[in-house]
Structure 1
Amino acid sequence: MKLTYILQGFLFGLAYVAPIGMQNAYVINTAIHKSRSVTLKTALITIFFDITLALACFFGVGFFLQKSVILKDIILTLGSICVIYIGLSLIKSVPDELQETKINESILKISLQCLIVTWFNPQAIIDGTLLLGGIRSTLVDNISNFFILGTAIASITWFLSLSTIVSINKNRFNKKVLRIINLICGFIILLYGVNLAYSLIIHFL
């Protein structure tokens, strides 16, 4: 029975994390343009923030975010600015050569960017709380732990697989393909940033 709930959590986790979003776009772009060591660090740090977000949603932190208007506004403001900046940077970047860049990029910078694309979206926290919190309410305590464990395993499996596959095959991409990928990833991230900014403007109007 425990394995059944772990599997259910795993399948839910894949469905939850697989659709292209800010996290996936950032991991894909990193895997293409950076060294494998930086790509692995990015994947692991993204996994950490993704799992902590899932745990927060599962145990209802989104409830407190809904109650604290000031906290929500701060996250919306900082999040929209940072996400829009990352998106525009990707859109404007033009790859000259198929080579790894900024190989010695610091853990602090990688962590900050992973944090931004994962946690700086209060809507994701609230939606995740409704989804994961709703599932948790249907499970008894000892069973719910196995479900969220499966969700965490899905996050680990997905981001490690995604980053590894893209990193291994990146040499097959020419400059034109890289440019297209930059544009797609950049627009996806930019769209999230604009949506955050729009939510903030609507809130104050």
Structure 2
Amino acid sequence: MFLPFLVGMGSGLSLIVAIGAQNAFVLRQGIRREHVLPVVLICGLTDALLETLGVVGIGYVVERAPVVLEIVRWGGVAFLLWYAWTAARRAMKPEVLVAGEGGTSSLKRTILACLAITYLNPHVYLDTMVLMGSIGNAQGDPARWWFVAGGALASIAWFFLLGYGARALTRFFATPRSWQILDGVVAVVMLVIAARLVFGGVGV
């Protein structure tokens, strides 16, 4: 069953290893060395959960629940616009952005932001539950569970690598100018994703 496991890992990585709201958030937390463990656990375990739900058939239901996805879609747009604004505002005040100094967020606020970025993106349901669920179920029994294991491991490993690997960039982000650039990029990423949700919808 090693092949379905590898297929699961490859499929999972192909969906998450890209510039997006979630990855940008994890990267920023990792560079700041701020609440990294809960953030990477939320992101990694959420992917594992959604992939499992997709394989057991919940993805089929989600795919046919356009009203629910529309609610999530517009909630995601609102949150992404707010987050883009906060990132842009931070970029305009770089003196408080040096890694490890000022501007820290509480654990509760960080977790809430991470949950919002993770669950208010309808594409996480379409990609992780519907697409991964479809590919996984195509493997048949019991191979589909090896597929889920591979996808889950890929997600968890990726977010841990991103969150804790970002610490290697701490020295580079020791200046306000570097944080200006990062938060400017984060703001643009959030705006682009929000625009895609508005104009591109959530169709598979």
Q: The TM-score by the shorter chain falls in which range?
A: 0.7 to 0.9
Question: Residue 11 and residue 138 in structure 1: after superposition, are their counterparts in 2 closer, same or farther (change >3 A)?
Answer: same
Equivalent position of 1:145 in the other structure:
145
How many residue pairs match? The answer is 198
The answer as to whether partners of 2:44 and 2:155 remain within 8 angstroms in 1 is yes
Q: Does 1:56 align with 2:57?
A: no
Q: TM-score, normalised by structure 1?
A: 0.83
2:16 is equivalent to residue 17 of structure 1 = yes
Runs of 4+ in 1 over 4 A off after TM superposition: 101-104
Structure 1 residue 59, shift from structure 2 partner: 3.8
User: How high is the sequence identity, in percent, across the aligned residues?
Assistant: 23
Matches within 5 A, 1:179-198: 179-198=180-199
Residue type of the alignment partner of 1:3:
F
Q: CA deviation at 1:140?
A: 1.2
Q: CA deviation at 1:129?
A: 4.2
Q: CA deviation at 1:70?
A: 3.1
Partner Cα distance (1:170, 1:63) in 2? 43
Query: What corresponds to 2:78 in structure 1?
Result: 81
Aligned counterparts of 2:21 and 2:56: Cα–Cα separation in 1: 23
| Corresponding residue for residue 67 of structure 2 | 70
Give the structure 2 partner of residue 171 of structure 1.
171
The CA RMSD over aligned residues, in Å, is: 2.5
Structure 2 length-normalised TM: 0.83
Q: Which runs of 5+ in 1 are unaligned?
A: none
Mark the CA change 1:57 to 1:188 in structure 2 (over 3 Å): closer, same or farther.
farther
Note if 1:122 corresponds to 2:122.
Answer: yes
Q: CA deviation at 1:104?
A: 6.2
- The 2-side partners of 1:185 and 1:85 are apart by 12
Contact 1:27 1:42 (C-alpha < 8 Å) held by counterparts: yes
Pairing partner for 2:39 from 38, 42, 56: 42
Q: Which range moves more in the overlay, 54-63 or 75-84?
A: 54-63
Unaligned runs of at least 5 residues, structure 2:
none
Shift of residue 81 of structure 1?
0.6
CA deviation digits over 1:59-82, x for unaligned, max 9? Answer: 443432343343223212211111
Contact 2:15 2:127 in 1 (8 A): no
